[in-house]
Structure 1
């Protein structure tokens, strides 16, 4: 999804850095308890949040450095 939103192909080299003994390979948020106890729902979809993050990152990278 991030590649599609960013419009770039990721250059990922799996195993380029040795894995640590207690490496976490997969992590997913489970918000079902928050939904149940707090009647909470996310206001931003995953796609919208990723898009906002990618756009913010691009703006920061292209920003002129402060002049001192």
Structure 2
């Protein structure tokens, strides 16, 4: 099944269930944290799509450990 790939510029806060195709152009260091809910890992990434549009994202816990 083919999914529609959305350009970053078209995303908005009211849109859900989207697929993007990006390249990681910058990855920050993996950091650990501890709060009332427990321990975890986190890092920031900069993502760029084929049009050159960039966004920043934060990966937490399982996603941070996976990537």
| Interval of TM-score (by shorter of Structure 1 and Structure 2) | under 0.3
TM-score, normalization by structure 2: 0.19
* More strand per residue: 2
Choose between structure 1 and 2 for higher RCO, CA contacts under 8 A separated by at least 6 residues.
Answer: 1
Compare the two structures and name the one with the higher helix fraction.
1
State TM-score, norm by structure 1. Answer: 0.18
